[in-house]
Amino acid sequence: MRVIAGTARGTKLTALPGEDVTRPTIDRVKEAMFSSLQFSLPGARVLDLFGGSGQLGIEALSRGAEHCTFVEQDRAAAAVIIANCKAARVFKQARVQLGQAELFLTSAPAGQFHIVLLDPPYNQGTLEKILPQVDRVTAPGGIVLCESELSASLPNECGGLRKVRQHRYGKVLVTRYEKDLAEL
């Protein structure tokens, strides 16, 4: 696993062994996700809600995001995120929050993040449950990218979030939501 582009391009990242705690995003999916964000990343405040190894948030920082908050409930995975941020030389732009995603979302200020990256555990219905809270912390005009299993049933709209695109990459589904600007 490595950073694909930007200032940290080529940096090797580590992950916890197995897929019990983390499931790294394959390069093809990551490249597609970030190609769709290329003009939105410079200066953006990013939330990597299910941090895992931190690879998605680190990729965002490498490509010009101003700041990334990583949320991870597993202490060992949070330590891996910190180590990976240091290896990629983006630690000063990162905040690693140990805790559950749902609890973080209830206390985070509304409209704080321009880009939200969601890659929760598969087959648990997490995205469907968490999207209303994600809507609250997403800034007007913001983008939410969800990585899920193909069978995930995601709504077309959720508050101010509107589904604009879905792409299938083998066994992975990437769904893009955009938040209405009307909430300004």
Closest CA to 46 of 173, 130, 175, 139: 139
CATH number among 1.10.10.10, 3.20.20.70, 3.10.180.10, 3.40.50.150, domain 29-183: 3.40.50.150
What does DSSP assign to residue 109? P
Closest CA to 99 of 71, 79, 80: 71
Q: What is the pLDDT of residues 67-106, one digit of tens each?
A: 999 999 999 999 999 999 999 999 999 999 999 999 999 9
Is 64 exposed, middle or buried (CB count within 10 Å of its CB: 0-12, 13-18, 19+)?
Answer: middle
Kindly tell me if the per-residue pLDDT of 56 is higher than 90.
yes
pTM for this model (two decimals): 0.92
